A = this chain, B = another copy of it.
Amino acid sequence: MTFPDLLKQDAALVQARLDAALATQDDVPVVQAMRYAVQGGKRLRAFLVLESARLHGIAPEAAVAAAAAVEALHAYSLIHDDLPCMDDDDLRRGLPTVHVKWDEATAVLAGDALQTLAFELLCDPALGAPDRRLALVAGLARASGAEGMVLGQALDIAAETAATPLTLPEITRLQAGKTGALICFSAEAGAVLAGADPAPLRAYATALGLAFQIADDILDVEGDEAATGKRVGKDAGAGKATFVSLLGLEGAKNRASDLIAEAEAAVSPYGDRAAALIAAARFVISRQS
């Protein structure tokens, strides 16, 4: 199976699990907004969870709730990041953002409830023994809270009003929280479920996450809105420091390539079984959206 086909197959699996989780809830606007917000996207995080599971002999059915949890968590972060008081975006995945389609109150609440849903999904008995599920809960909390994703977003917001643009170490720290922590959690999830050493996958995902953000900054300059489904040229227009502004376009592309080589080297202990992870790494810097 090619990597894009595998990604699609995993995306369908995780979508079904998210739909099932939301099907039984009251049909109020906040739940409609939650259903809307968990549609679409590349589902790279879900793939990482499921591939990390496969690498450890765990079938997708026994890991899909964790993949759905990561995507619910990611969807919550996008809804809140898009709010007028944050990045103020009106377009996401080619559709109006939640606060545009509904209103700000519904967007705040839908994001809140999607975070809750993420932790609820990790309690799914299909994921295995309680201690493993609890390890996922602890890991997701660390990755997404004030020492992970929220810290990254807070640093991003602070940078917008800072007197001087961020330096390379500062923007790297910001990225490690904002997108890196959740990507690391996703890649490690299968090892956690199997009780195996997550170190190689953490090294892989640390490099992958940074490459992913550099590719995002490149797309903000080179991409088009029809393909990315979101506004482009925003960061450059706002005078924000990005990997492209700090390294130049060629420098950013070279750094991303080096990181992908690092990611590939990190999973070399798995031999041929890491083929899909390597394909994913290459996809991350070649994608158009």
Contact = CB atoms under 8 A, between A and B. Distances in A.
Interface of A: 25-26, 28-31, 34, 76, 80, 83, 85-86, 103-106, 108-109, 111-113, 115-117, 119-120, 122-123, 129-131, 133-134, 137-138, 140-142, 144-147, 150-151, 153-155, 157-158
A271 to B, nearest CB: 33
Contacts of A154: 28-30, 106, 109
A120 B141 contact: yes
B141 A117 contact: yes
Contacts of A116: 115, 141, 144-146, 150
Given A120-B141, A141-B120, A113 B146 contact: yes
B117 A145 contact: yes
Contact of A30 (B111, B120, B151): B151
11 contacts: A28-B154, A29-B154, A85-B103, A105-B157, A109-B150, A112-B112, A117-B145, A119-B119, A123-B137, A123-B138, A130-B130
Contacts of A120: 138, 141-142, 145
Contacts of A30: 146, 150-151, 154
Given A120-B142, A134-B133, A109 B28 contact: no
- Of all A-B residue pairs in the complex, the 8 with the closest CB atoms, nearest first, are A85-B104, A120-B141, A116-B145, A113-B146, A123-B138, A130-B131, A30-B154, A130-B130
Contacts of A130: 129-131, 133-134
Contact of A86 (B108, B123, B144): B108
Contact of A134 (B29, B108, B112, B137): B137
B109 A147 contact: no
Nearest to A124: B138
Nearest to A86: B105
Contacts of A34: 146
Given A113-B150, A120-B141, A145-B117, A155 B85 contact: no
Contact of A28 (B106, B112, B115, B151): B151
Nearest to A25: B146
Contacts of A108: 80, 83, 85-86, 108
A80 B110 CA distance: 12
A141 B155 CA distance: 28
